[in-house]
Amino acid sequence: MLKVKDLLFGWPGSATIRFPDFQVNAGQSMLLLGGSGSGKTTLLHIIGGLLRPASGTVFVQGAEVHKIPGSEIDSWRGKHMGFIFQKHYLLPSLTVKQNLQTPGWLSGTAVDSDEISQMLDNLGLSEKSESFPDQLSYGQQQRLAIGRALINKPDLILADEPTSALDDKNCMRVIDLLKNLCSRNGTGLLVATHDHRLKQAISDFIEL
């Protein structure tokens, strides 16, 4: 589902990073481990088509990401990928329900009301559907960010340090929710983190 091969990347004036070859299958969860500056976020951005490598290839569902025309990449990314970050980037002027609808609006993929309701139920946010993000706890905001990334049923979720600000109990709750929802939908999950607690929930990992 995701295949990374022979990737090299270098910022101007800095050393070139060589990334390991790996693949993530449908429904599989994998950790991308490494300390600060090891290239975890850079690799996620390359996989997501936000950065172009010096050489090498990234395939998602058979499509070579960096050969997709610029005029099509945003729409393609919206249909096939979901992103989760440590900072949630929720839209403060939209309700919980409207934040879940945003990926469909942006990608032109309609999400029906039953799917929205089911996702709210899975996230434990049904009673908060008309609330705004600033009316949610940090954990509720994190769950909403997960739901927003998954609502279009993408092929791949890229998560960048999604649990580093959470205590042990909420860390396990969030990663279990994310892993289970991805497995249920057949979505590949790649989590970039320096949080070794996640090895308790996800055994497959790559270390940079």
Q: What pLDDT is attached to residue 93?
A: 97
Q: Is the pLDDT of residue 169 over 90?
A: no
Q: What is the mean pLDDT of residues 172-178?
A: 88
Pairwise pLDDT comparison (110 vs 95), residue with the higher score: 95
* Residue 119 to residue 142: CA distance in whole angstroms: 14
- For the chain, domains (ranges, CATH) are 2-207 (3.40.50.300)
Percent of the chain's residues with pLDDT above 70 = 100
- Residues 12-49: pLDDT tens digits? 888 899 999 999 999 999 999 988 888 999 999 999 99
User: Which DSSP string corresponds to 44-79?
Assistant: HHHHTTSS--SEEEEEETTEEGGGS-HHHHHHHHHH
CA angle 133, 137, 140 (to 5 degrees): 75
pLDDT of the residue at 15: 85
Output DSSP code: residue 1. -
- Which three-class secondary structure state does DSSP give residue 207? strand
Q: For residue 173, what pLDDT is reported? A: 84
Mean pLDDT within 169-183 = 88
How far apart are the C-alpha atoms of 94 and 27, rounded to whole Å? 30
Q: How many residues does the chain have?
A: 208
pLDDT of 165 strictly over 90 = no
Q: What is the mean pLDDT of residues 174-194?
A: 91
What angle (nearest 5°) sits at the alpha carbon of residue 184, between those of residues 181 and 185? 90
> Residue 87 class from Cβ within 10 Å (0-12 exposed, 13-18 middle, 19+ buried)?
exposed
The percentage of the chain sitting over the pLDDT mark of 90, rounded to a whole number, equals 63
Q: Which residue has the higher pLDDT, 103 or 187?
A: 187
